[in-house]
Chain A
Amino acid sequence: MTQDARKTRFEVLLRPHFDALYAAARRMTLSTDDAEDLVQDVALKAFEKLDELEQIEFPRAWLLKVMYNRFIDEHRSSKRSPVDQAATGMDSEEPGDHAHSRWLPEEMLDREVRITRILMAMKRLDNESATLVALRDIEGLTIAELEKMTGSPSGTIKAKLHRSRAKLGRLLSSDKTLKPELKAIGGSE
């Protein structure tokens, strides 16, 4: 088969799910650059597995699962230095991102902080839990779709979903706000 024919097959497979993939990537990232990188990453993986993907019943679920797995994996590997990450995120030249890199209104900041906390908590779930709960509660996959995807019975899936949500809730509840204490201050002008 020629490369052109393979490309056409890939387009036919990917096109119906592309908007959903992009939306999922945007939900899990805060810049369009990062979302596009994530989508590209999934597309590379999908092209490698094209023959296999064409045979499965729910390619969208497969694509989203790969995306969330990549997202969580990248989160874990990035633990090496979040400080570096804070710096590297400033290099976007996209106008929309530049607006982010300046001051955000308080209500927008609160929302972004909340989203960031949720994403940071999600990375603490194991891959299976994070992916399962994201596919169900964010992407709206049905229990039946998750059954086919995982091969697990619905009762098992529901129990895992509940445990994952509860763990996420506990992680979010454990966040703490710090307050500096004046009495410990030192230094001079």
Chain B
Amino acid sequence: MSCEFDKDRLRALAQGLIAGTERDSVLAHVDRCADCRSALRGAEALAELAARDTGAPPVGLFEAVVDKAVSQPARAPRDNRFWSGASFGAIAASLLAVGLFFGWTDSQVPTDRVPEFFVSLEEPRQMSLAFETDRVLDGARITILLSGSVEIDGYGPRRELSWTDDLEAGVNRLSLPVIANGLKGGQMVVRLEHPQSEQVFVVRLQVES
């Protein structure tokens, strides 16, 4: 099923290690070969991760890590903090995730832990929602409910948007231009429904001073 093309050249192209006629020949092959096209896409994504600026470890971290490891030889159960940061946490205000996985349903975020998104009176700001599912969902119902002094730009005073869409397995992005029309802020409720499952997600909308 796999072609005979030298796959190392795909990685080299993704990492910017080849140019000129060699690069052209790889691209020509990729145009004809769907499998290698996907592999190149994957290699480019990995190259982007590799290129991330990471910085040096904070001063004193090595000593702290060693001390803790030595003083806690028995491994304690951990929470999922690094995953929260990995995908959603640190950018939760700009990329908000709504997951729909089968086997659990309807989890409402406690009010004291509701993520926040900052809106402006002067210009709409794009709120990116990531609808993540573990399988294709045909006919999923997405509902957006707004309260308070906020609106979705272009939709006027409407408080509810609702539509049906087919979701691909994986990440489905939705960008909403949100703008404040008063100072008190508001709340957005996002509901993702499917006959087999449902998820509700709440975002607090704060007006940037």
Contacts and interface: CB of A to CB of B under 8 A. Distances in A.
Q: Do A and B bind each other?
A: yes
A81 to B, nearest CB: 5
A86 B89 contact: yes
A71 to B, nearest CB: 7
Contacts of A182: 155
Interface in B156-186: 157-165, 167-176
Interface residues of A, number: 108
Interface in B87-138: 87-99, 101, 104, 107, 109-110, 113-116, 118, 125-126, 128, 130-132, 134
B40 interface: yes
B84 A85 contact: yes
Contact of A86 (B37, B65, B97, B176): B97
Given A44-B75, A162-B2, A178 B131 contact: yes
B52 interface: yes
Contacts, number: 350
Given A43-B68, A83-B199, A121-B45, A115 B161 contact: no
Given A92-B85, A92-B90, A172-B45, 19 more contacts: A19-B56, A29-B85, A29-B90, A30-B91, A46-B69, A78-B83, A85-B87, A86-B115, A89-B115, A90-B93, A101-B90, A103-B125, A115-B48, A116-B95, A118-B45, A123-B87, A165-B43, A172-B41, A176-B172
B173 A113 contact: yes
B28 interface: no
B65 A39 contact: yes
A3 interface: yes
A92 to B, nearest CB: 7
B55 interface: yes
A114 interface: yes
A187 B64 CA distance: 55
Nearest to A175: B171
A61 interface: no
Contacts of B104: 80-81
User: Chain B at the A interface: mostly helix, strand, loop or mixed?
Assistant: mixed
Interface in A115-132: 115-121, 123-124
A178 B39 contact: no
Interface string B58-84: 100110011011101101001011111
Interface residues of B, number: 102
Contacts of B170: 120-121, 124, 171, 174-176
A165 B87 contact: no
B133 to A, nearest CB: 10
A179 to B, nearest CB: 8
A54 interface: no
Interface string A74-108: 11011111111111111110000100111110100
Contacts of A25: 82
Contacts of B116: 90, 101
B4 to A, nearest CB: 12
Given A81-B107, A85-B80, A120 B89 contact: no
Q: Which 10 A-B residue pairs are closest in the complex by CB-CB distance?
A: A89-B89, A187-B160, A34-B85, A169-B41, A168-B42, A82-B99, A165-B42, A169-B38, A169-B42, A30-B90
